[in-house]
Amino acid sequence: MMDKLKLGVFELTDCGGCALNILFLYEKLFDLLEFYEITEFHMATSLSEENHYDVALVTGTVSTQRDLNLLKEARNHSEYLIALGTCATHGSVQGSVELPIREKLKAVYGDDGNPMRALDSKPVVEYVAVDFALPGCPYDKNEVYQVLMDIAKGIEPVRKDYPVCLECKLNEYECVLVKKGLPCLGPITYGGCNAACIRSGLGCIGCRGPLPGEVNPASEYEILKDLGYDDEYIIRKFKTFARWEP
């Protein structure tokens, strides 16, 4: 049996969901452990003994100097680094609070100082080069399983290239945008969640970020305007998970 790959999970500032989702793999986690040894995963283990990782998963945004140091540490000591989750790939919700950090701190903590060295929340990809980016708030857990399996087998993981809309069609879900007039970002959002929210009869809020390439945010914008949503509402919606210009 060949040596197992060393896997590190590094959590920057976030909700914990992208790290937790790994534990939610249940039996599949044990399948992964046939190929990987977890040597850093601070939510799940008190061990922390390695300083070299074959694969590093980084979740969360860089929101403090500590986060930035940890991210550099992870990058410098890993072969293959995956920005995992929309926080890491696009900044997610905390990245959408657009005020200078000092003003934010003042509004919430009521002082002008910044003793803990907070930074404006930015995605991991703005600070270091990543080998793979897997968005989702949180990402679909089967996707991370597939990506890690591919890497273990020496295959470069593939990026999906279709919007959430396609998954609605495959599941034969009724279109909530056309049929109910709900503000659904499915047509321009990166697919891979199996249209989870449309299954509930609700509109996609864009948690996986924009589908790169061919999509047409301008036409989505027009559709929402025609449905009677005002400019500010639409723009805020576009900007919630990824800083997306219509």
Partner 1 sequence: MIIELREFTRVEGNGKAEIVIEDGEVKDVRLKIIEGPRFFELLTLGRHYYDVPDLEARICAICYLSHSVASVLGIERAFGVEVPEEIALIRELGLIGELLESHALHLYLLVAPDVFGYPDAIRMATKHGELVKEGLALKAFGNRIRVMVGGREIHGINVKPGGFGRYPTVEELERVEKESEALLRLARRAVRLFAQLDPYGAQAKHFVATDGYLWGEKLVSDEEGAFHYTERIEERSLVYSFAKQSLYKGEIFFVGALPRLLLKSEMLTPAAKRLFEEHREKLETGYVSYNNLAQAIELVYSLERANEIAKTLLDRGIEGENVPVEPREGEGIGYVEAPRGVLIHHYRIDANGNVAYSNIITPTALNHAMMEASLLEEARKLYGEAEERAMIGRLEETVRAFDPCISCSVHLVKL
Site for ligand SF4, rule CB under 6 A = 14-15, 17-18, 59-60, 85-87, 92, 137-138, 164, 189, 193, 195-198, 204-208
Determine the Cα–Cα distance for residues 56 and 40; give it in Å rounded to an integer: 9
Could you write out the DSSP letters of every residue in 122-172? EEGGGTS--SEEE--TTPPHHHHHHHHHHHHTTPPPPPP-SBHHHHHHHHT
39 binds, among ligand SF4, partner 1, none (CB under 5 to 8 A by kind): none
Told to check if 109 binds partner 1 by CB under 8 A, we report: yes
- For position 205 contacting partner 1 by CB under 8 A, the verdict is yes
Q: Which of residues 58-87 bind partner 1 (CB under 8 A)?
A: 61, 63-64, 66-67
Q: Taking the complex as a whole, how short is the minimal distance between the CB of residue 76 and partner 1, in angstroms?
A: 19
Distance (Å, whole) CA 57 – CA 7? 8
CA distance 231 to 208: 22
Picked from partner 1, ligand SF4, none, the partner binding residue 231 (CB below 5 to 8 A depending on kind) is none
180 binds, among partner 1, ligand SF4, none (CB under 5 to 8 A by kind): none
User: What is the phi/psi pair of residue 39, to 5°?
Assistant: -115, -5
Nearest CA-CA partner of 17 in 74, 96, 94, 130: 94
State the first-to-last Cα distance of the chain, in angstroms, to the nearest integer.
52
Binding region for partner 1 (CB under 8 A): 11-18, 20-21, 23-24, 26, 33, 38, 42-48, 61, 63-64, 66-67, 92-94, 96-97, 99, 104-105, 107-111, 113, 115-116, 118-119, 121, 137-138, 141, 196-197, 199-202, 205, 207, 233, 236-237, 240
